[in-house]
Structure 1
Amino acid sequence: MPEDEMLEILAIDAAVARSTGSDRYGITDAGFVPKSYSRVLAERFALAREVFGGDIDLTAGSVLRKLLEVTSLEDARTWAALTRAYDDSFVTSATGAALSRLGEELGLPRPHLEARGEVTLELAGDLPDGVTEVAVPRGARMLSPGGHHAWLTAAATLSASSPEAVVPAAAFHPGPDGDLDPADGGEVTLDRFHPDDDRLQPLRDLEAAAGEPLVTIVHDRPFVGGTSRWPDERYRRLLLRAPRSVWTADAIRIAASLVAGVRRVEVRDAWGGLDLHQSIFGNFNFAERLFGSERDIARPYYLTVLVGPTPGAVWNGPDGLHAAVASAIEDVRPVSIFPYIQQAQLVSVGVEADLVVDGLPLPPGSAARDAAPAAIELKRRIARRLTEHVDDAGFGEPVRAASVIRIIMEEPAVRDVRDLRLVRFPGDPDGATVAADPLPADVQQLACGANVHVGVDQLPVFVPDDARLRVV
């Protein structure tokens, strides 16, 4: 028997040996503390000595010791099962089906994920004179004859030399209904773009100039993954934020955040400060007029619901995000207090940097290294990391150059990041826009190490651009 186990046996006095537990185990102020296998076995040995005498044979080969070891193992498994049952009673520690049951008790079943797949975009007609390529932006919304919605998760460029592109896409609405299989018939086959998608206005202008459609959607691969549900950690964060009441700002925020196409929501009762956007501001002297008057009690009271959309969201229209959010919060808003649903301004953020890498099969020469398949795949992995990082930013939260460097350095093959500069579009900090993807030429390039600052009603959106990341 190991010496530490023998010392633990000797430390158990007669009172503890005749008991089934002690104050240190079970439900305590620190939570549930289980007995370990060695502790249970030590108590069994001590109890055997009390019953059969101190000279009982408990050596490694004795029959009694083997029986005590087997029963102690079963007791230790029981303690472990009790630990799991205790942990599954709380949102902070429950996992799997237990966490789902707690969420259902709170009225928030575990949401589904969006189905994902691929579509092929094909150049269908001749481009107008002077036009060499057609760009289809990331987030472009697609429809099927049966009313199913999907969006492109990456941008695509079509030209005469490259007339088609296979583009990743995702169902807009989560759940099994997003598992679109063209083999099921034309009702679920994506074949058109959304008419209310403002991102596609440049494409519509080109098609009007050409007099015919220029881009055709070929949906010949099934979308899968709609039956999957949120992972535990994401679902746990939702439940921990969930309110236990209605008619509150938290209830409105949670209801709006679960609408398909919503990235982030903030409920504001009053913005505070001076409304600099009023036309009268700056046109009178102080003490001559009031900045505002007392509220008219006969007028309804409004609160602001600031909504940050995902790339595939369409704001206007009967199936737009504005209408969906208004419907979702109708039953949880306070009585006689009406929401003003405001679309957040999106600021495109890009990254320019030189990457020093190691451990990748790269050819000699700067241009060849940067264009190698291994380098391109590295840039895509970095882009996915940066997209997740920027998507976690809240309203008014800057994108910090130091954080971007840390995210890039977490990629195993990267050894150094040099001359990192963040770029933003639009350059005007007060400019209102829908985030551009791909980034236009007139971006604002910040100084080396400078951060991208956004307003209180703005959200940063990372736009991947392989050409701005250079492998040296």
Structure 2
Amino acid sequence: MAFGVTDEGFVLKGFDVILAESKARTRAALGDGVDLSPTSPLGKLLEVVCQEDAELWKRMEGLYYAQFTATATGASLDLLGDDAGLPRQDGRRAGDVTLTLGGGAPGRTYVVPEGTVLLTAGAPDVRAFATTAPVELTAGAPARTVRVLALDPGDAAVPAGAVNDIHPEDRARYLADWPPATLTVGNAGPFTELVAEDDDAYRARIIALPRALWTVDAVKQAALRVPDVIDARVSDPLGGIDVTQAYFGGFDFGGRTFSDERRIGEPYFAEIAVAHRGLRPWDTRPGPGGATVTGVRDLVAQEVDRVRPIGVHVNVVEADHIDIAVRAEIVLAAGFDGPAVIARVRQRLTADIGRLRLGDDVLYARVMCAVAEQPGVDDVRRLHLRRCPPAFGRFGFGSVPYQLGTVEAAVGESLAMGPTEMAVFATDPGLSSIEVVTR
């Protein structure tokens, strides 16, 4: 068997193989009668030396896979990103904020949604943070602590008591029917945690980078530099951006080629669909006293303006984020906890579907593997994929007609996505129906 760098990748030589080869060489040198048992001094010495060699082989394996974006991690991935011109995004401050309900009505639950923007009102530089989970408040439990994450990268200190207000637009959107109940915000301690961009998110952005120098790809690359943007697609059917397309110079109208028809300075409009995941809102939210939160749309437009050709105007639109859910019956082996298995299934589907890009179909086989490969699952029956209506704030029309309710595909049928549609596993557990049957 070949070890090291092979056509199939790097094949690791394990400790057992190294020890067996070492013992064979020792017997060849000292004779077959030499004592190499585990309790002998020479046997112990060989085990220690072979253990060092095994660690060296592991190190060589790590160095080999550090050369590739799909397998590199940490500092190695940073180097690959720097080579591609896409450095890892700076870390963001994170910490705990306490939300306190005042004057709540008995029996009513007040919900502060995930992604609610909180501000450091009254500070010299207003900073914006977003909640990372929904918060439910009642008159009996009026205070809850939630983790928040800064919308903008940076390691500037956040002292205690700095986060003390809700963005006016979010207050009007989410708290309009709260009065006479009130909501106060405060962080008891300073924010000391700095959350860096994780390897999976950074790797996905590097893989999505174009590997050519054409202008269309430059526009896409500019969009990918914006935090929370995971993919983008430029729609340029007439070639106004990319004049390298094959039909330029191929048409002759009265002695003038088609590529000469568009003169520098003549306006031309293209479109870029942007898919994003994160806490930053899509549209900019103006606020008093510098409390404006710049949305993903405007950040992408600013980056695209730096690379677009003269006379070409790129319209930034939000991609259609399509919630995907499932309906299935899973058969569990004896001794496994049903809710725990379902939680692992949801986590796996969130990760697998989260790796899809614009226009990628949700394959039935991929979802089936995600469910069937979970420990304790003996069988999966009547698995259906569901295409759900758009979530709040994300309405769009893709290649599939817009629907008010959930559309359920037949058993074995995949869900087709349009070129500007991004599949997202639905976080609402009520959209999926997973029944558990125990043998």
Aligned to 1:407: 370
Residue correspondence of structure 1 range 340-351 to structure 2 within 5 A: 340-351=315-326
Per the alignment, in what secondary structure is the counterpart of residue 100 of structure 1?
A: helix
| Matched AA of 1:328 | E
Aligned to 1:312: 279
Aligned to 1:393: 356
**Alignment equivalent of 1:216, drawn from 184, 195, 217:** 184
Aligned to 1:123: 101
| Matched AA of 1:216 | T
**For residues 304 and 337 of structure 1, what CA distance do their matches in structure 2 show?**
10
The alignment status of 1:109 with 2:87, answered yes or no, reads yes
| Matched AA of 1:193 | I
**For residues 29 and 354 of structure 1, what CA distance do their matches in structure 2 show?**
41
| Matched AA of 2:349 | L
Aligned to 2:251: none
| Matched AA of 1:101 | L
Structure 1 residues 383, 218: closer, same or farther in 2, change over 3 A?
farther
Return 243-252 or 321-330, whichever deviates more: 243-252
Structure 1 residues 324, 417: closer, same or farther in 2, change over 3 A?
same
Deviation at 1:424, TM superposition (A): 0.7
Deviation at 1:321, TM superposition (A): 1.2
Aligned to 1:339: 314
Residue correspondence of structure 1 range 164-203 to structure 2 within 5 A: 164-174=143-153, 176-177=155-156, 184-187=159-162, 189=163, 191-196=164-169, 202-203=173-174
Structure 1 residues 196, 330: closer, same or farther in 2, change over 3 A?
farther
| Matched AA of 1:309 | H
- Contact 1:153 1:168 survives alignment (8 Å): yes
**For residues 204 and 395 of structure 2, what CA distance do their matches in structure 1 show?**
33
**For residues 85 and 308 of structure 1, what CA distance do their matches in structure 2 show?**
33
The alignment status of 1:141 with 2:141, answered yes or no, reads no
| Matched AA of 1:264 | D
Q: What's the TM-score once normalised by structure 2's chain length? A: 0.64
**For residues 462 and 25 of structure 1, what CA distance do their matches in structure 2 show?**
40
Deviation at 1:312, TM superposition (A): 1.9
Per the alignment, in what secondary structure is the counterpart of residue 154 of structure 1?
A: coil
Identity value in percent: 26
Structure 1 residues 217, 244: closer, same or farther in 2, change over 3 A?
same
Q: CA RMSD in A?
A: 5.0
**For residues 331 and 58 of structure 2, what CA distance do their matches in structure 1 show?**
50
Structure 1 residues 225, 242: closer, same or farther in 2, change over 3 A?
farther
Deviation at 1:204, TM superposition (A): 4.1
Larger radius of gyration: 1
Per the alignment, in what secondary structure is the counterpart of residue 217 of structure 1?
A: strand
Bigger fraction of residues in strand = 2
Residue correspondence of structure 1 range 44-83 to structure 2 within 5 A: 60=34
Q: What's the TM-score once normalised by structure 1's chain length? A: 0.60
Structure 1 residues 222, 387: closer, same or farther in 2, change over 3 A?
farther
Deviation at 1:125, TM superposition (A): 3.7
| Matched AA of 2:346 | A
- Contact 1:138 1:155 survives alignment (8 Å): yes
Aligned to 2:254: none
Residue correspondence of structure 1 range 408-447 to structure 2 within 5 A: 408-421=371-384, 422-426=386-390, 432=396, 443-446=405-408
Aligned to 1:460: 423
- Deviation per CA, 1:142-163: give whole Å up to 9, x if none: 3333433332333344445664
Structure 1 residues 301, 139: closer, same or farther in 2, change over 3 A?
same
- Contact 2:274 2:319 survives alignment (8 Å): yes
Deviation at 1:42, TM superposition (A): 9.3
- Contact 1:111 1:230 survives alignment (8 Å): no
- Contact 1:347 1:424 survives alignment (8 Å): yes
| Matched AA of 1:203 | Y
Structure 1 residues 113, 381: closer, same or farther in 2, change over 3 A?
farther
**Alignment equivalent of 1:230, drawn from 182, 198, 213:** 198
**For residues 350 and 83 of structure 1, what CA distance do their matches in structure 2 show?**
42
**For residues 162 and 269 of structure 1, what CA distance do their matches in structure 2 show?**
54
Structure 1 residues 347, 138: closer, same or farther in 2, change over 3 A?
farther
Per the alignment, in what secondary structure is the counterpart of residue 359 of structure 2?
A: coil
Structure 1 residues 142, 271: closer, same or farther in 2, change over 3 A?
farther
Aligned to 1:11: none
Deviation at 1:332, TM superposition (A): 3.4
Structure 1 residues 105, 149: closer, same or farther in 2, change over 3 A?
same
| Matched AA of 1:259 | V
| Matched AA of 2:268 | Y
Deviation at 1:307, TM superposition (A): 0.9
- Contact 1:315 1:321 survives alignment (8 Å): yes
**For residues 259 and 465 of structure 1, what CA distance do their matches in structure 2 show?**
27
Aligned to 1:51: none
The alignment status of 1:330 with 2:305, answered yes or no, reads yes
Unaligned runs of 5+ in 1: 1-23, 49-55, 273-293, 363-373, 434-441
**For residues 400 and 25 of structure 1, what CA distance do their matches in structure 2 show?**
35
- Deviation per CA, 1:217-256: give whole Å up to 9, x if none: 344466665354533x654554455457766333332332
Structure 1 residues 463, 114: closer, same or farther in 2, change over 3 A?
farther
**For residues 424 and 119 of structure 1, what CA distance do their matches in structure 2 show?**
33
Structure 1 residues 246, 467: closer, same or farther in 2, change over 3 A?
closer
Aligned to 1:14: none
| Matched AA of 1:150 | F
Aligned to 2:229: 262
Structure 1 residues 299, 94: closer, same or farther in 2, change over 3 A?
same
Aligned to 1:153: 132
Unaligned runs of 5+ in 2: 36-41, 240-259, 285-291, 398-403
- Contact 2:27 2:33 survives alignment (8 Å): no
Per the alignment, in what secondary structure is the counterpart of residue 198 of structure 2?
A: coil
- Contact 2:10 2:61 survives alignment (8 Å): no
- Contact 2:81 2:88 survives alignment (8 Å): yes
Deviation at 1:460, TM superposition (A): 2.9
Per the alignment, in what secondary structure is the counterpart of residue 107 of structure 1?
A: coil
- Contact 1:246 1:332 survives alignment (8 Å): no
- Contact 2:103 2:139 survives alignment (8 Å): no
